Amino acid sequence: MPELPEVETVRDGLARHVLDRTVTAVEVRREYSVRRHEGGPLDFAGRLTGRRFEAAVRRGKFLWLPLDPVVGTVPDDALMAHLGMSGQLLVRTTPVEVAAGGSHPHLRVRLLLSGGAALDFVDQRTFGHLSVTDLGPTPDGAPGGAGSPLAAVPDPAAHIARDLLDPALDRAALVAAVRGRRTGLKRALLDQALVSGIGNIYADEALWRARLHYARPTDTLRRAEVERALDAAAEVMTEALAQGGTSFDALYVDVNGQSGYFDRSLAVYGKAGEPCPRCGAPVRRDEFMNRSSFTCPGCQPRPRHGRW
């Protein structure tokens, strides 16, 4: 599933292959994929056609491409994408690729670009979406310097917190905020308004590395324990990113979330019954928030007064 490392890989690919291209036509094959766009599919197409991509920016799992502004000003709107659990953004550059991509069974939205290229939004399970939105300031400040194309985020993502790979993240404030919550540790890690970019897979891997159980109450955690969890999350995502960055070629913006390159490196996620790589105890699967949590019962003892 696309979490921070996968989305960053996509962002990097887009930055290499679609900047300075202009949208020449827009084809919405499934309205649901632009459901978050105010004004519907026609307005979506209207706001994109003739526009040029200026940059590729990410915060957490949100990704956006600021659009060309009036000459001499800063971009004030962008194509925003959230990949959900199965979304992909694929760049087609040759006529053969464009033609073949057009018949992909899960092609939801296609942007035809200058130079005969296409940017395809492919999404099997349709939790992802695209929209064109205004850019604005955020409560925690801009991702880039004022005046840069990174100086604002899409309004619908204004509530999304900085992620662990953001140099401007205030670590001390984040640790304090986590300890100020009254919930379970994993819930806090998954809360995109607290710290963004962490999904179910990397949350489980981070907690295993930090030897902390997901139900540890945030308000009883020591500062060092919160630091350990955050360090582990940053570390596991950085490692995944390093592997993801090598897996795409010049013509293809990869979101290899499901059959991923990183599968080999997972210690507990999806490994119920298999031995913990550290202590050998069989990995346990629990129901958690209508999904799964994987832990090592030896390394991550369940707290007596846990909180989901």
Partner DNA sequence: ACCGGTCCCTGTTAGC
Partner DNA sequence: TGCTAACAGGGACCGG
List interacting residues with DNA (CB under 7 A): 1, 3, 32, 36, 60-62, 82, 84-85, 105-106, 124-127, 156-157, 159-160, 177, 180-184, 187, 190, 192, 196, 199-201, 218, 269, 289-292, 307-308
Give the phi and the psi of residue 39 in degrees, each rounded to 5: 110, -10
By beta-carbon proximity to DNA, the closer residue of 145 and 305 is 305
Catalytic, 3? Answer yes
Catalytic, 61? Answer yes
Q: Exposed, middle or buried by CB within 10 Å (0-12, 13-18, 19+), for 115?
A: exposed
Q: Which amino acid is at 25?
A: A
Q: How far is the CB of 68 from DNA (least distance, A)?
A: 26
Other C-beta atoms lying within 10 Å of the C-beta of residue 227:
17
From the list 222, 264, 291, 304, the catalytic residue is 291
Would you call 10 helix, strand, or coil by DSSP?
helix
Q: How far is the CB of 18 from DNA (least distance, A)?
A: 22
By beta-carbon proximity to DNA, the closer residue of 108 and 228 is 108
From the list 2, 5, 66, 156, the catalytic residue is 2
Q: How far is the CB of 126 from DNA (least distance, A)?
A: 4
By beta-carbon proximity to DNA, the closer residue of 202 and 248 is 202
By beta-carbon proximity to DNA, the closer residue of 37 and 307 is 307
Q: What is the dihedral of CA 38, 39, 43, 47, to 10 degrees?
A: -30
Q: How far is the CB of 79 from DNA (least distance, A)?
A: 16
From the list 47, 61, 162, 186, the catalytic residue is 61
Measured CA to CA, the distance from residue 127 to residue 293 in angstroms comes to: 21
Query: Could you please report the per-residue DSSP string of 148-204?
Result: STTS-EEGGGTTPPPBTT-TT--HHHHHHHHHH--SBHHHHHH-TTTSBS--HHHHH
Q: What are the catalytic residues?
A: 2-3, 61, 291
